[in-house]
Amino acid sequence: MARDAVGYALGALNRLASSDFLDRVGIRKFIERLAYTLTKTGFRLITTTARTFKATQKLDKPARLTAPGQTTGLFDLNVTEEQQMIRDSVKSFATEVLRERAEAADAAHKTDDEVIDQALELGLNFFAVPESLGGAASERSAVTNLLIAEDLAYGDMGQAVAILAPMGVANALTSWGTAEQQSKYLPAFADEKPPRATIAITEPHPLFDPCQLKTTARKDGNEYVLNGTKALVPLAAEAELFLVAAATDDGPAVFIIEGGTDGLSCGEDNGMGIRASGQRPLLLEDVRVPAANRLGNSDFDYHQFVDLGTLAWCGMAIGACQGVLDYVIPYCNERKAFGEPISHRQAVAFIIADMAIELDGMRMLVYRAASRAEQGKSFQREAHLARTFVKDKAMQIGTDGVQLLGGHGFTHEYPVERWYRDLRAIGVVFGGLHI
């Protein structure tokens, strides 16, 4: 309805502008400025208010997950039997469902509800909620979550973001939520129909730094008042729950905001990639939240919160890059020029070899960081190295994929142009996910 209202308004203004009435009354400049403002600002939608969150049980203390009991402290790239079973089912879903729907979801700027429902049948949301709150998680599983992100993005990165965003919120609440916050919000994520939820960190500013936020949270009695704009927020128009990062007097913090809160709305400014995630700007205008909705207590680590989100994006980049590599190899072996496959040309063969080498390098750095995070060790350095390497090499792999297909790589008929656009997000996006 919001889109129609703005469309009608612009149509009426355009018809009015074609008459000489505006000149007679001297308000043409005002009307033109109004039309420009409407066009520039775009549509603004009120966020979803489909659910009321209530505490289902009283917790004496927060439910935290511990490191896996079998960990040796060594960096081990082998996956467990349970992890392999999860990967097999997720990979099958990604290739048979997500990849088939990818082009349509990208064009619609939304992941279909049927796809979300099929993803829920995998039971992934249960791995983010502790057993004591109705979930299936008994230990910290950063590596498992990373592998899930990688395999989903192998099918389609945009839809993967839409599926993983609610899990990211649940993981953050499990890691840092207070007993009150967990009892109120986490049980819903173990329901048959868990809430749509998302994390909002990125802001529309050049050289954005997640530790230098322009969105502010001012303390006012027993409440915080938030003002600012977030960019590229997945599920912004659909989410029932948001984790929003904002600057406070004592440093960056994250706030739990329910959809439909007064002053909370989203704009219409879709990005060039990850369109199926439904990402939009999130606008906060004097949004009031209880002080109790500030995520965590003294144990909250904002840097770790950002770094875990960074690793989730890196995992998805690996999955998408693997998709590119697996696509271009048979293409170049089958595509002939001058009587032979183009893969026989050294220039082509070397590009493909470099793609494979860089992809393995990305995996090593990202898995290393996730492994340390799972064991409860410091991983800030490893996460920074992983993101620095991945954002450069993933975008290069996306570019090379388009280049290897030549003119075909520039058309919607082939998926590499979409993968290229999706992989560009790695260099600019923070938040939205959390492993």
Going from N- to C-terminal start, the domains of the chain cover: 2-10+19-43, 302-427
Q: What is the mean pLDDT of the chain?
A: 89
CA 148 to chain centre: 14
CA 34 to chain centre: 34
The per-residue pLDDT for 298 is: 85
Residues 89-103: tens digit of each pLDDT: 999 999 999 999 999
- Quick one: what percent of the chain has pLDDT higher than 70? 87
For 393, residues 6+ apart whose C-beta sits below 8 A from its C-beta are: 321, 358, 359, 361, 362
- The Cα 207–Cα 225 span in angstroms is 26
Q: What is the mean pLDDT of residues 412-426?
A: 95
- The Cα 150–Cα 90 span in angstroms is 10
- The Cα 3–Cα 295 span in angstroms is 34
The per-residue pLDDT for 4 is: 42
- The Cα 158–Cα 290 span in angstroms is 33
- The Cα 226–Cα 289 span in angstroms is 8
Backbone angles phi, psi at 378, to 5 degrees: -65, 135
Residues 30-54: tens digit of each pLDDT: 555 545 444 444 456 666 665 788 8
Backbone angles phi, psi at 329, to 5 degrees: -60, -55
Residues 338-355: tens digit of each pLDDT: 999 999 999 999 999 999
Tokens of 100: 């088939």
Q: What is the mean pLDDT of residues 140-152?
A: 94
The per-residue pLDDT for 183 is: 95
- Quick one: what percent of the chain has pLDDT higher than 90? 71
The per-residue pLDDT for 164 is: 96
CA 173 to chain centre: 17
- The Cα 328–Cα 333 span in angstroms is 8
Tokens of 53: 């969150």
pTM: 0.87
DSSP single-letter state for residue 291: G
- The Cα 259–Cα 432 span in angstroms is 15
Tokens of 183: 């009892």
Indicate the angle between helix axes 416-423 and 99-108, nearest 10 degrees: 60
Judge whether 400 and 416 are in contact, CB under 8 Å: no
Q: What is the mean pLDDT of residues 289-307?
A: 95
State the pLDDT confidence band at 8, using cuts at 50, 70 and 90.
very low
Q: Does the domain spanning 302-427 belong to CATH 1.20.140.10?
A: yes
Tokens of 432: 């939205």
Judge whether 387 and 315 are in contact, CB under 8 Å: no
Tokens of 361: 């390098």
